[in-house]
Amino acid sequence: MENQKPGPTKKYPEGKIHKDDSGELKIAVGPITDPLTKEAKLLLQFGTSVSWIAMTADQAIEFAKMIRKKAKKIIQQRSTH
């Protein structure tokens, strides 16, 4: 996992968009090994309970690209072992 602590930042960079908005949330994304199957999986760690997440379309595309990149890295590592 990257060196970022997941969880709420208590910041509202886009303003409060919903009455239940808890603000910005840092998400840690990285590989983890399933202890039962020994298979590498992608872990998204929120650091808190999350009911919903909102983001702009551009942010959603960047989030998807980042997840895809990390998933591809797991696949590449799997094929070299």
* Radius of gyration of the chain measured on its C-alpha atoms: 15
pLDDT at 8: 94
Reported as a single tens digit per residue, the pLDDT across 55-81 is 999 999 999 999 999 999 999 988 776
Residue extents of the structural domains in the chain: 7-80
Instruction: Return the structure tokens found at 1.
Output: 């996992």
Instruction: Return the structure tokens found at 4.
Output: 């970022």
Contact 70, 54 (CB under 8 A): no
Q: How far is CA 11 from the centre of its chain?
A: 18
Q: Name residue, tokens 């996992």.
A: 1
pTM of the model: 0.81
Q: Which ranges in 23-80 belong to alpha helices (H)?
A: 57-80
pLDDT at 59: 95
